[in-house]
Amino acid sequence: MLSFIIRRAFSIIPTLLGVSIIIFLMLAITPGDPAELLLGERATEETLEAMREHLGLNEPLYVQYGMFLKRLIKFDLGETIWTRQKVWDEIKQRYPATIELSIAAMFLSCFFGIILGIISATKQYSWFDYMSMIASLIGVSIPVFWLGLVLMLVFSLYLGWFPMSGRMGIGIDLEIITNFYVLDAILTRNWPALKDVLWHLTLPAFALSTIPLAIIARMTRSSMLEVLRQDYIKTAKAKGLGQTKIVLKHALRNGLIPVITVIGLQFGIMLGAAILTETVFAWPGVGKWIFDGVVKRDYMVIQGGTLVVAACFVIVNLIVDVLYAVINPRISVK
């Protein structure tokens, strides 16, 4: 198993290199002087020349890529054009917000998705099954940004139940330790802040959870249906076990194996796809930051942000693969 994990971990290196090449080439092939693109129109000739020297723009492309890679290894992603902050520091500060939102959304999708999937599978072809499968088809077809706005309209503006945007209300005092506000509030035992943070988290998490929820529900249903047809389930029935016990103790363990892969993949996708939800809810995560970078044509932000999000996506997929092998010994080390 250990050798499988090591082999799988090494296998992401070419992918990561490929990702870095694509991101490097995107800037290289964009029309215009990369130094000017990176420094913005306000840059003076001296700073432009210094940037050209720093990036090696007078060198051949492969040397430039080598220099780019060298800087990457040192986590030197440069400075943003607009705020002149270190890109890496900005990402470190913002990624927790995105991860927190994604975890909350994933929690909602797993909880409701798995329950819906199990009930649909045990009551196949019932009205509940039809309804939940129609709902899940609507779930994968819904534009997340639109749903976010509708939720905001109904629950924030009309009903006033939830705040419209942001991570925390003004006037809430919270000592920031990890930048994961929920965790920080728990660590400092600041319950009013925890309540406020969760209150702010609910609507964006719900909007972001719809697509994964629908996919998880469909996957759980089909996987459970397959497991419920197996002989060992018939044996359990023949032994006289109750339906609930059969489903929860015998079928669920095997039925959830393929679902775990989907959950992992969806989590990886969320880290990047949160860009729309974050923009709608003014959630100060890395997605909104990248989008703001796109609007301001801050190529340092686009480059650094995309690289880190893609790297995280690859690593999450690696973890999913390893987890899958751990849970399902049949496919392990092959």
Partner 1 sequence: MSLFAITANPEDRHPIFDQIEKLFRNKTGVAGLIIITIFVLCALLAPVISPHNPVENSLYDQLKPPIWSPGGAMKNILGTDDLGRDILSRIIYGARVSLMVGVVSVGIGLFFGSLLGAIAGYYKGWLDSIIMRFMDILLAFPHILLAIVIVAYLGPGLRNAMMAIGIITIPRFARIVRASVMEEFEKDYVTAARAVGARNRRILFNAILPNCLAPIIVQASLGFGSAILDAAGLSFLGLGAQPPTPEWGAMIAMGRSMILRAWWVMTLPGIAILLGVLGFNLLGDGLRDALDPRLRD
Task: State yes or no: residue 145 binds partner 1 (CB under 8 A).
Answer: yes
Tell me the number of residues near partner 1 by CB under 8 A.
53
Cα distances from 67 to residues 46, 148, 288, in angstroms, run: 21, 42, 29
CA-CA-CA-CA dihedral for 283, 38, 312, 95, to nearest 10: -30
| Cβ distance to partner 1 smaller for residue 110 or 290 | 290
Task: State yes or no: residue 248 binds partner 1 (CB under 8 A).
Answer: no
Task: State yes or no: residue 318 binds partner 1 (CB under 8 A).
Answer: no
For the chain, the farthest-separated pair of C-alpha atoms sits apart, in whole angstroms, at 83
Separation CA 62–CA 26 (nearest Å): 14
Nearest C-alpha neighbor of 133 from the set 110, 113, 107: 113
* End-to-end Cα, the chain, rounded Å: 10
Q: Are 213 and 263 in contact (CB under 8 A)?
A: no
Q: Are 155 and 162 in contact (CB under 8 A)?
A: yes
Least distance in Å: CB of 117 to partner 1?
Answer: 10
| Cβ distance to partner 1 smaller for residue 67 or 149 | 149
Least distance in Å: CB of 305 to partner 1?
Answer: 9
Please name the residues in contact with 142: beta carbons below 8 A apart, sequence gap of 6 or more.
210, 211
Figure out which of the listed residues 67, 172, 314, 327 binds partner 1, where binding follows CB under 8 A. 314
| Cβ distance to partner 1 smaller for residue 100 or 196 | 100
Amino acid, single-letter form, for residue 223? S
Task: State yes or no: residue 192 binds partner 1 (CB under 8 A).
Answer: no
Figure out which of the listed residues 53, 107, 297, 326 binds partner 1, where binding follows CB under 8 A. 297
Of the candidate spans 90-98, 197-205, 214-222, 320-328, the one that interacts with partner 1 by CB under 8 A turns out to be 214-222
Least distance in Å: CB of 52 to partner 1?
Answer: 19
Least distance in Å: CB of 65 to partner 1?
Answer: 15
Least distance in Å: CB of 136 to partner 1?
Answer: 10
Interface mask toward partner 1 for 25-44; x: CB under 8 A = -xx-xx--------------
CB atoms within 10 A of CB 131: 12
DSSP element (H, E) containing 183: helix 181-187
Task: State yes or no: residue 112 binds partner 1 (CB under 8 A).
Answer: no
Nearest C-alpha neighbor of 251 from the set 79, 157, 121: 121
Separation CA 82–CA 175 (nearest Å): 28
Figure out which of the listed residues 272, 284, 285, 304 binds partner 1, where binding follows CB under 8 A. 272
Exposure string (b/e) for 277-312, b if CB count within 10 Å is 16 or more?
bbbbbebbbbbbbbbebeeeebbbbbbbbbbbbbbb
Figure out which of the listed residues 36, 115, 123, 146 binds partner 1, where binding follows CB under 8 A. 146
| Cβ distance to partner 1 smaller for residue 271 or 325 | 271
Q: Are 311 and 323 in contact (CB under 8 A)?
A: no
Separation CA 264–CA 216 (nearest Å): 11
Of the candidate spans 82-90, 137-145, 178-186, 319-327, the one that interacts with partner 1 by CB under 8 A turns out to be 137-145
Of the candidate spans 14-22, 87-95, 105-113, 230-238, the one that interacts with partner 1 by CB under 8 A turns out to be 14-22
Cα dihedral 91, 97, 102, 103 sign: positive
Figure out which of the listed residues 135, 183, 260, 294 binds partner 1, where binding follows CB under 8 A. 294
Q: Which residues bind partner 1 (CB under 8 A)?
A: 14-16, 18-19, 21-22, 26-27, 29-30, 137-138, 140-147, 149-150, 152-153, 157, 218-219, 221-223, 268-269, 271-273, 275-276, 279, 287, 290-291, 293-295, 297, 302, 306, 309-310, 313-314, 317
